[in-house]
């Protein structure tokens, strides 16, 4: 008989074989078919309500003083113990009972509770020490078996293996299929127990088809988080899932899975570092191309080495910039997850793409291979949506931050791609603070780019102050603000009816506001030169500081 139970304790049968209980001449009078139950602990007591003190899995030792004299009390005593889930009840015969009452035995049989009577007196403390020693030794044995799995996983990694080899070791040990999935429930790797066991992928698909929420583990599974080593979205990198398909999963299998998870964390960390380094390498190439350090003649060959093989159609430069990039790289950023997510989506829609990352600037440059110029709007729409979704999936956007800015350049050959990437990168910085759109056409933001380049020049601030300074001061002191009215009026090219509809104003109110604007600025809103100056000043005000707060009156 094995000295330990594989669930981390010893069996009732093994406890009866130890010298302490064996010396009491034990006789099993009920539940002889339940002696393989696991003994988690030993407890001795003589109080009637002892069941309330137990948690389940105990071997209860008693002389019977708390069982009660009436058959009804004895039946209730046994039923309460069975309901609590103890492993077995051991009663020492002696002054209280010369033999166990029929009510006690019959109730134990009906409840399926192992009931043992001892014909000789035994020291309960000796029994307790012996059983607890066996239980502790059993736990150490489980840990040794789990450590052996960890050793084999480490050997597999040192031998050049990866996540599939680690999963194979664990599957062989548990005799069941093992899976590595993302935190969202997407399958990464699978391993089966081998031999005539079920195909793990078929098992996975069958279970997941019947499961509404893929983030929840299937019923009866062992699930262990693979740590990511960081807060927030990096806290859990992946999940290890063991399914009880071929045999039951025991605590030793969970312990082994936890040991294997530490090995997998190293594997995935290395893979993520390699992936991020590759993404940064592609970002460096695209930046060198944009800044002229790679010529249009040399670029195609270098791009092929990086895996970019577009067709004969034009190339489309795209740049995404995170909204908080000015404050440095986002905290908890995961550029590898972002690069992988976007690459997977673009591959799925059949768009050849070369995607890089520039963490210091908070930028993601891309080159896309189009079949024709006519594809530009539709591809731009898909790419912009994919980039924004990738940012959310990687957890790289603060909850209070605006959406990333996506700028699409002009399609053309490799020479145009160089200038287009540079133009799109600058325009993405200049577009911060503009009304949010899914994507911006770089060709339509040239004025904003020019004003952004002049942002540090004192003449720009002076120009804005001369053009709209009185309105900025007014809007700090009085209501309603007038700058939104002027901005909407100019956006509609001076059409008062459309301006009034957008602002939800009646015409007379709009006329009064326009008259007040003209009065404050001392100018005519119908003069073309005035309109041009005001339009430029409104676009430039994002790049210059506003007036100081008004003094207290």
**Statement: residue 246 has pLDDT above 70:** yes
Render 433-496 in DSSP notation, one character per residue: TSPP-S-EEGGG-HHHHHHHHTTT-HHHHHHHHHHHHHHHHHHHHSSS-SHHHHHHHHHTTT-H
Contacts of 293 (CB under 8 A, 6+ apart): none
Cβ contacts of residue 47 below 8 Å, gap of 6+?
53, 66
Task: Tell whether 350 is covered by a domain.
Answer: yes
Residue 488 token pair: 């909407």
Q: Check residues 515 and 278 and name the one with the higher pLDDT.
A: 515
Mean local confidence (pLDDT), 355-365: 87
Average pLDDT over residues 430-441: 88
Task: Please tell me whether residues 184 and 232 are part of one structural domain.
Answer: yes
Structural tokens at position 386: 């994919």
Average pLDDT, whole number, for the chain? 84
Number of domains present in the structure of the chain = 4
Contact predicate 146/224, CB 8 Å? no
Cα(153)–Cα(151) distance, integer angstroms: 5
Contact 154, 130 (CB under 8 A): no
Q: Name the pairing type of β-strands 440-441 and 405-408.
A: parallel
Q: Omega into 480 within 30° of 0, i.e. cis? A: yes
Judge if 309 and 414 occupy the same domain: yes
The CATH number of whichever domain residue 253 belongs to comes to 3.30.450.30
Half-sphere exposure of 161 (CA within 13 A, CB side): 17
Contact criterion met (CB below 8 Å) for 256 and 149? yes
Same domain membership, residue 305 and residue 426: yes
Q: Are 309 and 250 part of one and the same domain?
A: no
What confidence category does residue 324 fall into, taking pLDDT thresholds of 50, 70 and 90?
low
Question: Which one is predicted more confidently, 276 or 413?
Answer: 413
The mean pLDDT of 58-73, rounded to a whole number, is 90
Closest CA to 5 of 150, 171, 139: 139
Is residue 332 situated within a structural domain? yes
> What's the N-to-C CA distance of the chain in angstroms?
94
Residue 189 sits in the same domain as residue 240: yes
Q: Does 472 lie in the same domain as 427? A: no
Rounded distance between C-alpha atoms, residue 498 and residue 495, angstroms = 6
CA distances (Å), origin 401, targets 391, 392, 404, 439: 12, 12, 9, 17
CATH number at residue 534: 1.10.10.2840
For residue 2, the model assigns a pLDDT of 41
Residue 276 within any structural domain of the chain: no
Q: Where residue 106 sits, what CATH number does that domain have? A: 3.40.1390.20
Q: How confident is the model at residue 407 (pLDDT cuts 50, 70, 90)?
A: very high
Whether 452 is in a domain gets the answer: no
Q: For residue 515, what are the domain limits? A: 458-543
Point out which residues pair with 222 in neighbouring strands: 242
Residues 214-243: pLDDT tens digits? 556 666 678 888 876 544 445 567 888 888
Q: How far apart are CA 394 and CA 470, in angstroms?
A: 45
| Residue 173 buriedness (CB in 10 A; 0-12 / 13-18 / 19+) | buried
**Cα–Cα distance, 368 to 365 (Å, whole number):** 10
Residue 182: strand, helix, or coil = coil
Is the same domain home to 441 and 463?
no
Q: Do 190 and 316 share a structural domain? A: no
The answer to whether residue 349 is domain-embedded is yes
Domain boundary among 223, 255, 270: 270
How far is Cα 204 from Cα 305, in angstroms, rounded to an integer? 36
Contact assessment for residue 415 and residue 314, using Cβ atoms and an 8 Å cutoff: no
Based on the fold, state whether residues 435 and 324 are members of the same structural domain: yes
* Contact between 54 and 60 (Cβ < 8 Å): yes
Measured in whole angstroms, the distance separating CA 357 from the mean position of its chain's CA atoms is: 21
DSSP state of 4: S
Whether residue 109 is predicted with pLDDT greater than 90 in this model: the reply is: yes
Question: Are residues 380 and 432 both part of a single domain?
Answer: yes
pLDDT of residue 327: 42
Is 147 a domain residue? no
Say if 219 falls within a structural domain: yes
Same domain for 472 and 416, yes or no, is no
Report d(CA 331, CA 314) in Å as an integer.
Answer: 36
Q: Give whole-number Cα distances, 46 to 91, 104, 115, in Å.
A: 10, 15, 16
The residue from 236, 270, 304 where one domain ends is: 270
Whether residue 510 contacts residue 503, with contact meaning beta carbons closer than 8 Å, is answered with yes
End-of-domain residue from the set 419, 445, 471? 445
Higher pLDDT pick, 394 / 406? 406
Is the pLDDT assigned to residue 384 strictly greater than 80? yes
Same domain, 440 and 470: no
For residue range 1-37, list pLDDT tens digits in order.
Answer: 344 444 456 889 989 999 999 999 999 999 999 998 9
In Å, what is the CA distance from 11 to each residue of 6, 17, 38, 87, 253?
10, 10, 5, 9, 19
Q: Name all contacts of 137-146 with Cβ < 8 Å and 24+ positions apart.
A: 137/3, 137/4, 138/3, 138/4, 138/5, 138/8, 138/9, 138/10, 139/8, 141/4, 142/4, 142/6, 142/8, 142/251, 142/252, 142/255, 143/255, 145/252, 145/256, 146/252, 146/255, 146/256, 146/258, 146/259
For residue 399, tell me if it sits in a domain: yes
């Amino acid at each position: 008989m094995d000295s330990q139970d594989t669930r981390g304790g010893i069996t009732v049968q093994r406890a009866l074989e130890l010298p302490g209980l064996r010396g009491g001449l034990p006789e099993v009078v009920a539940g002889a078919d339940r002696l393989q139950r696991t003994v988690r602990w030993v407890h001795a007591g003589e109080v009637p309500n002892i069941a309330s003190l137990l948690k389940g899995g105990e071997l209860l030792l008693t002389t019977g003083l708390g069982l009660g004299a009436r058959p009804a009390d004895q039946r209730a005593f046994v039923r309460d113990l069975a309901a609590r889930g103890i492993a077995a009840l051991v009663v020492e015969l002696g002054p209280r009972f010369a033999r166990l009452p029929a009510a006690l035995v019959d109730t134990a049989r009906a409840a399926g509770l192992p009931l043992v009577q001892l014909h000789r007196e035994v020291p309960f403390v000796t029994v307790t020490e012996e059983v607890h020693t066996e239980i502790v030794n059993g736990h150490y044995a489980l840990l040794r078996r789990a450590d052996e799995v960890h050793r084999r996983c480490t050997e597999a990694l040192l031998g050049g293996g990866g996540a599939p080899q680690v999963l194979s070791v664990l599957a062989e040990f548990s005799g069941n299929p093992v899976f590595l999935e993302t935190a969202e429930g997407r399958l990464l790797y699978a391993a089966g127990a081998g031999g005539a066991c079920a195909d793990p992928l078929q098992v996975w698909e069958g279970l997941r088809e019947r499961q509404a929420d893929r983030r929840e583990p299937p019923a009866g599974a062992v699930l262990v988080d693979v740590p990511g080593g960081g807060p927030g979205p990096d806290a859990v990198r992946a999940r290890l899932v063991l399914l009880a398909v071929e045999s039951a999963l025991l605590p030793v299998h969970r312990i082994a899975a936890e040991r294997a998870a530490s090995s997998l964390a190293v594997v995935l960390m290395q893979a993520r570092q390699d992936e991020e380094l590759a993404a940064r390498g592609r970002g460096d190439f695209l930046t060198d191309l944009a800044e002229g350090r790679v010529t249009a003649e040399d670029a195609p060959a270098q791009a092929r080495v990086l895996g970019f093989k577009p067709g004969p159609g034009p190339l489309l430069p795209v740049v995404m910039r995170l909204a908080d990039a000015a404050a440095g790289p986002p905290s908890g950023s995961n550029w590898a997850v972002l690069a992988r997510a976007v690459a997977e989506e673009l591959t799925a829609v059949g768009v050849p793409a070369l995607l890089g990352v520039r963490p210091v600037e908070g930028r993601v440059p891309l080159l896309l291979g189009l079949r024709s110029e006519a594809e530009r709007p539709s591809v731009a729409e898909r790419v912009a949506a994919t980039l924004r979704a990738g940012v959310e999936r990687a957890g790289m956007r603060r909850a209070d931050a605006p959406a990333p800015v996506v700028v699409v350049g002009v399609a053309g050959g490799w020479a145009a791609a160089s200038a287009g990437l540079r133009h799109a990168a600058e325009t993405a910085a200049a577009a911060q603070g503009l009304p949010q759109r899914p994507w911006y056409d770089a060709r339509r933001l040239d004025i904003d780019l020019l004003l952004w380049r002049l942002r540090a020049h004192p003449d720009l601030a002076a120009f804005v102050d001369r053009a709209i300074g009185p309105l900025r001061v007014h809007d700090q002191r009085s209501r309603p603000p007038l700058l939104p009215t002027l901005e909407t009026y100019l956006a509609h090219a001076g059409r008062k009816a459309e301006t009034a509809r957008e602002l939800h104003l009646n015409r007379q109110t709009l006329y009064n506001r326009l008259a007040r604007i003209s009065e404050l600025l001392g100018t005519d809103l119908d003069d073309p030169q005035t309109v041009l100056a005001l339009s430029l000043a409104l676009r430039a005000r994002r790049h210059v500081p506003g007036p100081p707060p008004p003094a207290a009156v």
